Amino acid sequence: MMPGRASRPGVPYGEQPVTSRLDQFLTGSPWRQYVYGYPHKTAYRAFAEPRPLEAVWANERPDTRFLYVHVPFCELRCGFCNLFTTANPADDVVERFLAQLLVEAKETAAVVGTRRYTRAAIGGGTPTYLSAGQLERLLGVLREVMGFGAAPLSVELSPATLTREKLAVLSVATRLSLGVQSFVEPELASLRRPQATRDVLGALELIREHSRAHLNIDLIYGMEGQTPASLVGSLEAALRWRPEELYLYPLYVRPLTFLGKHAAWDDHRLTLYRVARDWLGSRGYRQRSLRVFVRADVGEVELPEYHAEDDGMVGLGVGARSYTKALHYAHDFAVAPGAVRSIIDDYLARPAASFQVARSGFELDVAEQQRRWVLLSLLGPGSDGGAFASRFGVPLLEALPQLRQLVSEELAAWQGETLALTPRGLEWSDALGPWLFSSEVEARMSAWEAR
């Protein structure tokens, strides 16, 4: 059982009074789970009947959608990563993936429509694992089949896979996100990510010379051997490139790996987080959430309307998820290499018509939609009570009265109508997310068998 999760005898965990639950969360680890979506994909299950996508999308707004493509390939599998990806696939697997992506896109467009997408992202895995020609074909699918036009496009890159040719193909991207993790090679070795710092510098130079896109750099803190001084060294090295954004990820490792030194490890991450937060603040970076820091002189860009809490996401490629208000769906999910490969094989063998239905996912009733809305906003810019009430027809604190405790614990404060995390709340973000999970989502997640 996780620390701080003891049940009162005879009372199922999910039914405990919310007051004691928050207390329990606050005496446990602040590092529980990165909540960037809700419900988590380990809460997805097969539907009793396949759900036709045409009906699933019928009531969604047609003009504010996000298009996501998942590329499930990497040059190697980093020791910390549990994203859906496979390392060094055979050449024909990538080619067959692109061919099947085209089929999936055509079938999806036929039922969901080629409506106006107001955002797109190509993630993974490592999209730049593809060759320049393959990336060109992938972009062609977005443009010609899905009808994606001139909206903001974000692409994930890894240093060793980036070339000038690929960057030229990606000139349409408005945001490029480079996974660096650390500029200190022994720290990368402890993450089991063999990456040469000269490749990182080469990639940054290419990006800044040949691209006008906003640059995001991903860094990780909390790995073995990292000290406050070495973290500041990596931050300094990153800031030389004046990235518009910095994602600072606390390291998450499968629990068993760190069993025994769990508490010490928690303190290590907290110390490093505080050092980095303060240092970035003093260098003109504004904190948007626990992980996201944005260069303060980067103006607010006028973007087409899109609200993550409410608007739909169409996902393509094995490993992608899709969201409508009431239904989230995805292909199967796994972490272990053999299971990932068999899910990819399954995807490659699917008949075209199978892409017009969803087979597994999660159905969100209104209460779950409200939780999701609050989770996504509270862990980011804050939850606007007025916007919540006009979306759901009920006041925020009536729907989720437990939010009051955040104010009494000084984890959140009202700024006008918006409930926003305090600096202490930001530190506890990765515990407050799971605290807001419903008992059903929590039960499904605990019952998920890791594979």
Binding site for ligand SF4 (CB under 6 A): 74, 77-78, 81, 83, 85, 124-126, 158, 179
Rounded to 5°, angle at Cα 123 from 331 and 376: 80
Does residue number 191 form part of the binding site for ligand SAM (CB under 6 A)? no
Count of residues near ligand SAM by CB under 6 A:
16
Using an 8 Å Cβ cutoff, are 101 and 125 in contact? no
Does residue number 226 form part of the binding site for ligand SAM (CB under 6 A)? no
Does residue number 218 form part of the binding site for ligand SAM (CB under 6 A)? yes
Compare residues 13 and 34 and give the one whose CB is closer to ligand SAM.
34
Using an 8 Å Cβ cutoff, are 150 and 94 in contact? no
Q: Which option in ligand SAM, ligand SF4, none does residue 252 bind, with CB closer than 5 to 8 A by kind?
A: ligand SAM
Beta strands 245-250 and 292-295, pairing class? antiparallel
Q: Which option in ligand SF4, ligand SAM, none does residue 220 bind, with CB closer than 5 to 8 A by kind?
A: ligand SAM
Q: Which residues make Cβ contacts (< 8 Å) with residue 101, sequence separation at least 6?
A: 69, 138, 141, 316, 317
The span from the CA of 47 to the CA of 42, in Å, is 14
Gyration radius from the chain CA atoms: 22
To ligand SF4, the closest distance from the beta carbon of 245 in angstroms equals 17
Q: What is the DSSP letter of 300?
A: P
Using an 8 Å Cβ cutoff, are 361 and 46 in contact? no
Task: List the structure tokens of 223.
Answer: 């790995």
Compare residues 81 and 276 and give the one whose CB is closer to ligand SF4.
81
Q: Which option in ligand SF4, ligand SAM, none does residue 77 bind, with CB closer than 5 to 8 A by kind?
A: ligand SF4
To ligand SAM, the closest distance from the beta carbon of 191 in angstroms equals 9
The span from the CA of 253 to the CA of 223, in Å, is 9
Compare residues 83 and 151 and give the one whose CB is closer to ligand SF4.
83
To ligand SAM, the closest distance from the beta carbon of 118 in angstroms equals 22
Query: Contact with ligand SAM (CB under 6 A): which of 60, 104, 107, 156?
Result: 156
Helices (H), 349-428: 366-378, 385-392, 396-399, 403-408, 423-427
- CB atoms < 10 A from the CB of 89, how many? 18
Does residue number 64 form part of the binding site for ligand SAM (CB under 6 A)? no
Compare residues 81 and 396 and give the one whose CB is closer to ligand SAM.
81
Per CB under 6 A, residues contacting ligand SAM are 74, 80-81, 83, 123-124, 126, 156, 158, 179, 181, 218, 220, 249, 251-252
